[in-house]
A and B are shown apart, each in its own frame.
Chain A
Amino acid sequence: MSLSTISLPDHAGPSEIIWHYIYIVICTLVFMFLIAPLFVVIPLSFNAEPYFTFTKEMISLKPEAFSLRWYQDFLSKEIWQVSIRNSFVIAFGSTILATFLGTLAALGLSRPEMPYRAAFMGILISPMIVPLIITAAGIFFFYASLNDYVQMTGSYFGIIIAHTVLGTPFVVITVTATLFGFDQSLVRAGAMLGADPTTVFFKIIMPLILPGVISGALFAFVTSFDEVVVVLFVASVDQQTIPRQMWAGIREQISPTILAVATILICVSIMLLATVELLRRRSERLRGISPG
């Protein structure tokens, strides 16, 4: 991936060549600004010393300067074990709910007959736009008012519901995007050839929107997996999650264990991104948009 692929015209004068290289340097710096913070954390998580900067020994690549002690710490502490389990339980629960509700709504929203589409869309996307602190405060008041009937604060159910509402906009967006330009005549063709609506859905619509559904689900999963504000407001000590544990760790004093966790999470996000990219290309290929 060389940046020189942006070619200069043959007739470029010296000033144009200079500007061209300045431009490439600027772009490289911006890309570094985006990515560098992530990659600084990775080597530091193998630091043998409890410092957040490179020791002289690390720079001279002495093997004893590196260790896995922070990973051991992460895997051996019970609080982290509990957090991992809780994060997965909550994220899975809310992903399933959000994907189901979001996909249904997206199917309705992309039908040409849908009345007030823009208004509905605006409302259904709003959980992504409204500041989290407002949502969290509102949900806190709401749950507190329900506590006489059902215990909502300090319950897994309460957090799963709150995370579901935060995740649905992503599902709605990705699924409507795959349905954008969906040829409705395919549905009619299916019906004309004798398929009932259920068959049409599973044989025609589902394969086409599946990439969108999966990437929406992944977005919803990440949203829940990374969410901390609602958890801070409505969870009790029993619902310790990874982000909450990191939040506490950063606020009190950063132990390099957090860097180990961060490294693991970065690897997870690389895998998720790769999955979504592959799905996107598959979806574009299926829908006949030029392959990337």
Chain B
Amino acid sequence: MTNAANAIAGLETADGTPLKAALARALRRKRMRAVLLVMPLFIFVFLTFLYPIGLMLFRSIDNPLVSEHMPRTVAALKDWTADDLPGEAAFAALTQDLEDARKSGAAGRLATNLNYQTGGLRSTITRTARQAGKLEAPFKEKLIEISPAWGNIETWATIKLLSDRFSMVQYAAALDRKYDIHQNVVPLPEDQQIYVTLFMRTLWMSIVVTVSCLLLGFPIAYMLASLPLKHSNLLMILVLLPFWTSLLVRTTSWIVLLQTQGVLNDLMVFFHIINDAGRVQLIFNATGTVIAMTQILLPFMVLPLYSVMKTISPTYMRAAQSLGAHRFLAYGRVYLPQTLPGIGAGCLLVFILAIGYYITPALVGGQDGQMISNMIAFHMQKSLNWGLAAALGGILLVGVIILYWVYNKIVGVERLKLG
């Protein structure tokens, strides 16, 4: 071995460079070429995907409005301990800031921003900003007269809380928590808790979908793997066709099938399984979401299961049975353990895709079939509380990234199959 290494070390190429260096250079050049091929897409993905997601995450901790538009108040509240109302200086600073904010047109956004944190502050801010220019010192009584909220320690604590440009306020809100006046994180009153329940429901529904996919996918994957290729290819088309069909088409189909006046209920009435008054609500609720999502994600379970089962030799089963194992015992102890890599890959993939599902729950979920993505969409498009949407998205993203990392570790992303 060392002799060979020494021999190479002694060799030289035609132009006199040592062979070792020449080889290393050639390898480096090959490596460069491979990287250069990947770079265009990498840069593209970085610019149009990774950077935008970073931008969203930044928004979840970024809170510029108060520090930007209320600098005097922020300074006046710097040493305030929230034990008592702040002094006249803070009221004067506030009046000045709000007058400036009105002039620069930021008062409305400021009001909305503070209102997300403490309900009712919107009108307080807009009303005060409107009158701030006409006020004269001393301000304290006059401000409290305009809105009694200024006599509340909580109002001032809210301003102080939001005066830090970067904070975890949105994440606290996304986990049903808030900062009290002394800036401790406390749980919200129970009737205001929404998001943790929603996260739990999202997890629960994803688990139900994953398990349903496994239970339905396992037998057909087994059938596909044990049939001769000529037949299994035809059946495989039945698995792949939904995969290629528009998500919206499939969701529409489920609405048509499962509506109370839909095909399935009609059939059940026709066969007297239920009477006309007892039609079952199968869609626009959690049941509908789970049924539709199971069908939509089933191919993602069947494909990895199939590719693992295809490699399992039937001789193991025959051996187990000829050694006296009952058919079921042989399945449980010999066949099943060999399919575990496929089960793991399929379950992880289905779970990852299920947990972030948006379109199907939005269309067939009704009230109780909504998932966390739908709440993100609501805050993005309706309530326009983008900071909170970003924080909810951040939490979801962390979950997905962890799962994806696990998937990559145990399955390997290069083994993803699309038919």
Contacts and interface: CB of A to CB of B under 8 A. Distances in A.
B393 A30 contact: no
B238 A35 contact: yes
A121 interface: yes
Contact of A131 (B38, B327, B400): B400
A102 B389 CA distance: 31
A135 B396 CA distance: 12
A96 interface: no
A131 B355 contact: yes
Interface residues of A, number: 100
Given A105-B38, A130-B400, A262-B249, A138 B223 contact: no
A121 to B, nearest CB: 5
Contact of B244 (A41, A111, A269): A269
A26 B397 contact: no
A111 B30 CA distance: 9
A264 to B, nearest CB: 9
A87 B132 CA distance: 52
Contacts of B223: 3, 6, 23, 27
A141 B52 contact: yes
Interface of A: 1, 3, 5-6, 16, 19, 23, 26-27, 30-31, 33-38, 40-41, 44, 51-54, 101-102, 104-105, 107-109, 111, 113-115, 118, 120-127, 129-135, 137-142, 145, 161-162, 164-165, 168, 170, 172-174, 176-177, 180, 215, 219, 222, 225-226, 228-229, 232-233, 243, 246-247, 250-251, 254, 258-259, 261-262, 265-266, 269-270, 272-273, 276-277, 280, 290, 292
Tell me what chain A mostly uses at the interface: helix, strand, loop, or mixed. Answer: helix
17 contacts: A30-B220, A35-B241, A40-B257, A44-B256, A52-B263, A113-B27, A113-B34, A115-B35, A127-B49, A130-B53, A130-B356, A133-B373, A134-B53, A168-B44, A222-B244, A273-B244, A280-B419
Nearest to A226: B246
Contacts of B55: 138, 141-142, 145
A250 B363 contact: yes
A137 B396 contact: no
Interface stretch (B2-10, B102-110, B408-416): B408-416
Given A111-B30, A133-B393, A52 B380 contact: no
Interface of B: 27, 30-31, 33-42, 44-45, 48-56, 59, 216-217, 219-220, 223, 226-231, 233-235, 237-242, 244-257, 259, 261-263, 266, 295, 298-299, 327, 352-353, 355-359, 363, 373, 376-377, 380-381, 386, 389-390, 393, 396-397, 400, 404, 408, 412-414, 416-419
B52 A138 contact: yes
Given A5-B231, A53-B262, A132-B356, A40 B253 contact: yes
A122 B403 CA distance: 12
Contact of B295 (A23, A34, A222): A34
Contacts of A114: 31, 34-35, 38
Contacts of A269: 241, 244-246
Contact of A134 (B217, B253, B376): B376
Contacts of B393: 133-134, 137
Given A23-B219, A123-B50, A107 B413 contact: no
B245 A27 contact: no
A176 B414 CA distance: 8
Contacts of A170: 418
B413 A292 contact: no
Given A165-B48, A276-B419, 7 more contacts: A1-B231, A38-B241, A52-B262, A104-B40, A120-B38, A132-B356, A226-B247
| Interface pairs A-B: 3 shortest CB-CB | A131-B356, A108-B37, A138-B52
B262 to A, nearest CB: 6
Contacts of B251: 250
Nearest to A161: B48
A290 B229 CA distance: 10
A292 B34 contact: no
A162 B48 contact: yes
B248 A226 contact: yes
A131 B358 contact: yes
B257 to A, nearest CB: 6
A207 B55 CA distance: 41
A212 to B, nearest CB: 10
